[in-house]
């Protein structure tokens, strides 16, 4: 009886693919869950920052932004695969783990630079209030 109910519910409410992020040694891949994806090659990465807002804690209020020559990729912090990506991002030479801590403590609209290409080190002064 329960199996019939499960089958019926699965037909009525099919599982939807979830958005996710993955990466390998050459690139970062953002999958929207509907079959489309966006790729940023590591060699094209120019900046990593975190943008926060004042909407938490019941909605995602922390977003990672990876910038490259063709624009920005935005990743909600709760996106599947983010824990692994964050670990990898913090391995970038000159990455600032303190910027991540400051961002996680933020309750306002702000931007925190975690890493910049060219060996530029991020500093506490790189925190920007957003309007």
Taking each continuous run of H as one helix and of E as one strand, the counts in the chain are: 3, 8
Instruction: Tell me the whole-structure pTM to 2 decimals.
Output: 0.78
User: Judging by DSSP bridges, how do beta strands 47-52 and 110-116 pair with one another?
Assistant: antiparallel
pLDDT (tens digit per residue) in 108-126: 999 999 999 986 554 444 4
User: What is Dmax (Cα atoms) for the chain?
Assistant: 63
**Angle, alpha carbons 29-74-60 (nearest 5°):** 120
Q: How far is CA 27 from CA 21, 42, 79, 87, in A?
A: 11, 5, 17, 15
pLDDT of residue 131: 43
pLDDT at 71 over 50: yes
Confidence band for 100, pLDDT divided at 50, 70 and 90: very high
Two structure tokens written together for 125:
């002064």
pLDDT of residue 68: 95
pLDDT (tens digit per residue) in 9-57: 677 776 667 889 999 999 999 998 888 899 999 999 999 999 999 887 7
pLDDT at 60 over 90: no
């Amino acid at each position: 009886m329960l199996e019939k109910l499960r089958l019926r519910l699965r037909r009525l409410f099919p599982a939807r693919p979830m958005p996710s992020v993955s990466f390998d040694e050459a690139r970062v891949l953002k999958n929207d869950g509907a079959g489309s994806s966006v790729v940023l090659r590591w060699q094209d990465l120019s900046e990593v920052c975190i943008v926060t807002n004042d909407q938490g804690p019941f909605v995602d209020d922390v977003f990672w932004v990876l910038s490259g020559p063709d624009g920005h990729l935005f990743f909600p912090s709760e996106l599947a695969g983010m824990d692994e990506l964050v670990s990898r991002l913090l391995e970038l030479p000159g990455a600032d783990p303190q910027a991540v801590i400051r961002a996680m403590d933020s309750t306002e609209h702000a931007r925190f630079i975690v890493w910049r290409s060219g060996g530029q080190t991020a500093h506490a002064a790189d925190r920007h209030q957003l309007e």
